[in-house]
Amino acid sequence: MAEIFVIDRDGVEHSVTATDGWSVMEIVREADLPIEAACGGCCACATCHVYVAADWLPKLPEMSRDESNMLDEAFQVQDNSRLSCQIPFKPELDGLTVTLAPEF
């Protein structure tokens, strides 16, 4: 079964079963890991902010203008910052590693 790795804010890595077609945010949320995702996944807040492990960045769909605008409302934004609701999971992303960004 496909899985992704989620590093929480204490640095603990969790292996989480990933469902095809779900967003990474939904996968993290369904695993009961602390992700706020206040807007429910419509790219209208920045509370599902994650850092994507460098190897995986090129494999992700390109960032939309909406997403980069919303990232302005996040803090500690890095080059590998993404909003996890904007990353649909597909089999090629099996093994994807993301780190939950600080909450604020």
Partner 1 sequence: MSATEPQAAPATDAPIRTDMVIVGAGPTGLFAVFEAGLLGLRCHLVDNLDKPGGQCIELYPDKPIYDIPAIPRCTGEELTNNLLEQARPFHPEFHLGQQAESLTRLEDGHWRLVTSAGTVLEAPVIVIAAGAGSFVPRRLPLPGAAPFEGRSLHYAVRKMEHFRGKRLLVAGGGDSALDWLLSLQPIAASTALVHRRDEFRAAPDSVEKMRALVAEGATTLHFGQIAELHGTDGQLEGVTLKQTSGGEERIACDTVLAFFGLKMELGPLASWGLNLERNLITVDTEAFETSQQGIFAIGDIATYPGKLKLILSGFHEAALMCQKAHKYCRPDQKLVFRYTTSSSELHKRLGVAD
Binding site for partner 1 (CB under 8 A): 38-40, 42, 44-47, 68-69, 72-77, 102-104
**DSSP letter for each residue of 34-86:** ----TT-SSSSSSTTEEEEPGGGGGGSPPPPHHHHHHHTTSSS--TTEEEGGG
Give the three-state DSSP class for 99. Answer: strand
**Single-letter amino acid code for the residue at 63:** M
Q: Is the CB of 42 or the CB of 57 nearer to partner 1? A: 42
d(CA 14, CA 97): 10
Question: Shortest distance, CB of residue 72 to partner 1, whole angstroms?
Answer: 5
Question: Shortest distance, CB of residue 11 to partner 1, whole angstroms?
Answer: 17
Q: Is the CB of 3 or the CB of 30 nearer to partner 1? A: 30
Q: Is the CB of 19 or the CB of 68 nearer to partner 1? A: 68
Question: Shortest distance, CB of residue 60 to partner 1, whole angstroms?
Answer: 19
